[in-house]
Structure 1
Amino acid sequence: MKQYKKLLCATLLTSAVALPAQAEELLNNVYLGLSGGLAIAPDAKTKHPEFGKYTIDFDNGYSFSANAGYRFNEFLRLQADIGYLKNDTSDFIDYKRSSGSVSGTYGVLSVYGDYHFTDKISAFAGIGGGVLTPQVGNITTEEGKSLGFKTKENLVALLKVGTGVSYSVNENIDMIASYDYLRSADFTIQDQPVNSYDDKTHLSAHLVQVGLRYNF
């Protein structure tokens, strides 16, 4: 019995010593980041089952995101992003010279590859998928009338591809400049409370962002 107790104590002692070292090793491969910048949304085509095709004209907007990642090695990493983008509209479906906005919160899981030019400068590229919650703000017509719209789907699939460069300021801090392209699956826009609109469209955006990354 004493031998078992000694063995148990030795196992617990070894674990107590080894676990902090393993946790530190794992943490050394983790990073956190914040980015923000310009969201450029190309004009989107819509399609109504009865009345045909219309267009949503977008102005340039803004975006920001937070991310967390894990490095498997110096060339490969996995990154999770949570972000938000918003673009104002100048023409909305058949309301010409109207004003409003289309926005969305998204979550994406991506795989990135890194190429190191020097100890400080690296390039990266990645691809990932996730979900988007599309939202349509109130649309104000040229005459000043406010119209309510919503999207029928709460979540739609989202594709993300991106590239960029990073500069290592010191051992822990990297400066990032990135370009990402986001493309959602189709969603349906409906007016409230009548629901006479039933236009299908999608959201695509070119995100040009700068940010910081903290490496543990």
Structure 2
Amino acid sequence: MNILAIETATDYCSVALMQKNGNQTEYTVYGKGVHSEAVFLGIKEVLEKTGFPASQVDAVLLSGGPGSYTGLRVGYSAVKGFLFGHNTRLYIVDTMLSVAAAVSAMVPNTADIHIVLDARRNHLIHQMFKQTDGLLTVASGTQIVPVGEIGGFLKPGDVLAGTGIERIESESLKELQVFNDIPVKAAYLFMVWKMQVLNPAAPLIREADPESAEPVYLTPGV
């Protein structure tokens, strides 16, 4: 399948195309408020670089949040426009899961993974994942946590990644495996797709109707 992936849940705006042969082309920019222009530029660029018309895209993977209200709204609107008039399937991937998938490839498969995204104000979005034989499973619900309370969810040896790390006091980061330079990229959605293919029974992605699909915001309208 030729799969287009779109990630707009954070200050990263990222678009990627994975061809049937596994080759990937990606466009990623970073900045607050860049999504309204960058997502359309990204779609145009990856299609032009690969020579694919929109009609040859078999499926779209979309980051479903939680995250920025504005970024997610732009991403969903762009996808609805892209899919209009095309018989192309839409699949939603949770943002936290896609970042955890990227991190899981870099750490022992016994470590618990915590993803923290910046929720603005004095809060973080937190979710915990466990890994068994290369398969990620959700170990906690997605929740908004005051920055000062995040240490209560962590234990020595755990893995911590995401855009919210810089807001956590260094004392809470001791004895953790910290990945504070992991961008939130569209290519990570492909990693979750591959996990789903290898484990069909796992509830990692979900198909959605483009007309009625709505993101998970969890954050204030920013």
TM-score, L = length of structure 1: 0.25
- Structure (1 or 2) with the greater strand fraction: 1
Question: Would you tell me which structure has more helix in proportion to its own residues?
Answer: 2
Q: Which has the higher contact order (CA 8 A, sep 6+)?
A: 2
TM-score, length basis structure 2: 0.24
